[in-house]
Amino acid sequence: MSRADHFWQLSCFDELPSTSDYCLDVCRAGHGAAGQAVLAYRQTKGRGSRGRNWLDAGQGLALSVVLDASHAGSDALGGWPFVASLGFYDGLLRAVPAARSRLMIKWPNDILLDGQKMGGILIEREGDFVLIGLGANLVSAPQQSMVERPVACLAQCGCVPDVKTVAQHVLDGLAWWQQKWQQKGFASVRSAWLERAHPLGTPLVVKGGTTYEEGHFAGLAEDGRLLLSTENGMKTIATGDILLMEKGA
């Protein structure tokens, strides 16, 4: 029996506008409970981070979960992107082991395949709950003309299991890393995240409002903020849109 079998209560739907909106509605109606998970085989109005839409290319992963924020300690919200991305990464890798050398986490919680976005995470707070939405291109990716940047799908690495099986692998990973965080603290999460992320020295651009910073990835601060080595010294980044640049560009 996997960890997901006893940690989560998974509900599957043929179609939903948004799995995250569904979870929000449940929590606002007073029926939210930690461990609820919602999977839609088709999502018509998926939401991404920073107000973006998440496009459903068909046979992709559209999964949202409800977790109790009160047991995660004082760094609860700051740690969730890293816990979520570790569980997401490990679950996708378990689904398609051949992707090992090609998957990477981009700060703080995007999943890249060969440097192109394959999966994303949306994290929201509702009362005592944290809602985590996870979307991934599994069998196909949206047409390039419909997205801002190059995108990829997991099938580029080999045969992908059915969507529910992938979801169960991801849920298993989420349960594992949430428990690890609670038992060992954020330092263990931070260390594991760095092993799966873009390497130290990776050229990055950080955009946010009027902010534009170029530099090289220098790791994570103890609280998970990004460290960017720039010509003007070390910068600590709390939020921003991160672009990976080609070395030598």
Give the domain CATH number at 13.
3.30.930.10
159 lies in some domain: yes
23 lies in some domain: yes
- Listed in sequence order, the residues at least 6 apart from 179 whose beta carbon sits closer than 8 Å to its beta carbon are 3
pLDDT band at 246, cuts 50/70/90? Answer: low
Question: 132 with 229, same domain?
Answer: no
Question: 53 with 108, same domain?
Answer: yes
Residue 199 has pLDDT above 50, yes or no: yes
Question: 127 with 166, same domain?
Answer: yes
Residue 207 has pLDDT above 70, yes or no: yes
Question: 44 with 79, same domain?
Answer: yes
Residue for token digits 């419909």?
146
Question: 116 with 239, same domain?
Answer: no
Residue 71 has pLDDT above 70, yes or no: no
Range of the domain at 227: 203-244
Give the residue-averaged pLDDT of 157-172: 97
DSSP 163: H
- Listed in sequence order, the residues at least 6 apart from 183 whose beta carbon sits closer than 8 Å to its beta carbon are none
Question: 219 with 159, same domain?
Answer: no
pLDDT tens digits, one per residue of 32-51: 999 999 999 999 987 866 55
Whole-number pLDDT of residue 249: 45
Residue 80 has pLDDT above 50, yes or no: yes
Q: What is the number of domains present in the chain?
A: 2
DSSP 54-92: E---SS-EEEEEEEEGGGS-TTHHHHHHHHHHHHHHHHH
Whole-number pLDDT of residue 69: 84
47 lies in some domain: yes
249 lies in some domain: no
Question: 41 with 88, same domain?
Answer: yes
**Taking CA 7 as the corner, what is the angle to CA 180 and CA 169, rounded to the nearest 5 degrees?**
80
DSSP 17: S
Whole-number pLDDT of residue 145: 46
Mean pLDDT of the chain: 89
| Distance (Å, whole) CA 221 – CA 245 | 22
Whether 237 contacts 108, CB under 8 Å: no
